[in-house]
Amino acid sequence: MASFDEWKQRRQRPQATITLAAAPGLSVELEAVENRIAAMDAGGMLDKPEGLEELEAEAARIRQDIEESGVTFVFESMGAPRWRSLVAQHPPTDEQRKGRGFPYNHESVELQTEVIRQSLADPSMNDADFDEFLSSLSQGEFNALWSVAHGVNVGGGGSPEALTATAPRSSSPRRRT
């Protein structure tokens, strides 16, 4: 097992990526094909339904087109202290607090925009470029970016194996010396 100093040297903040197509129609087209595939798979048939292979090939082609024409955005966790400070500026509404006990207003567009801005690691943008970029997005694209930026900050940002913890060997509290 690594020492804490070794861990600190190797530590990387959780990251997540998303690729936005240059032509948003590709994303819509992919979603439609994936929905048709899901509907075919939902039947629980042992044999592949007729037409499934063609739809899977179509989905693969569209994904390739998105990769070739799009831009990949890398989001990195801003770290727990910065996250807590940011969400503290956006308290939940009474309805959010009562309903599901949200600790912040996750529907605040200002919060969503700041989480995207502060978590975007690549490509690098100045404020004017970022504002221009945001104004070019559809609501669906904005929501997709928010989902990834939010997830990298509140989740582990990696495989479940990376989050594996070992249970304490003793139930008695450890004392610091």
* 41: confidence class by pLDDT, cuts 50, 70, 90: confident
| Bridge partners (DSSP) listed for residue 15 | 76
| Bridge partners (DSSP) listed for residue 96 | none
Identify whether the C-beta of residue 22 lies closer than 8 Å to the C-beta of residue 70: yes
Show the DSSP H helices in 11-101 as ranges: 24-41, 52-69, 80-88, 94-99
The C-alpha atoms of residue 54 and residue 71 are separated, in whole angstroms, by 27
The CATH T-level fold of domain 66-154 is rbstp2171 (3.30.2220)
Q: What is the pTM of this model?
A: 0.72
Helix (H) or strand (E) holding 140: helix 139-154
The C-alpha atoms of residue 52 and residue 118 are separated, in whole angstroms, by 41
* 159: confidence class by pLDDT, cuts 50, 70, 90: very low
Per-residue pLDDT, 97:
87
* 67: confidence class by pLDDT, cuts 50, 70, 90: confident
Q: Could you tell me the two tokens for 155?
A: 């989740």
CB under 8 A, 24+ apart: contacts of 53-62 = 58/33, 59/30, 59/33, 59/34, 62/26, 62/29, 62/30, 62/33
Per-residue pLDDT, 23:
81
> For 74-112, what is each residue's pLDDT tens digit?
999 999 999 999 999 999 999 988 888 889 999 999 999
Q: What is the mean pLDDT of the chain?
A: 83
Q: In the chain, what are the domain boundaries?
A: 66-154
| 11-20, 21-30, 77-86: the lowest-pLDDT one | 21-30
Who wins on pLDDT, 141 or 156? 141
| Bridge partners (DSSP) listed for residue 16 | 75
* 134: confidence class by pLDDT, cuts 50, 70, 90: very high
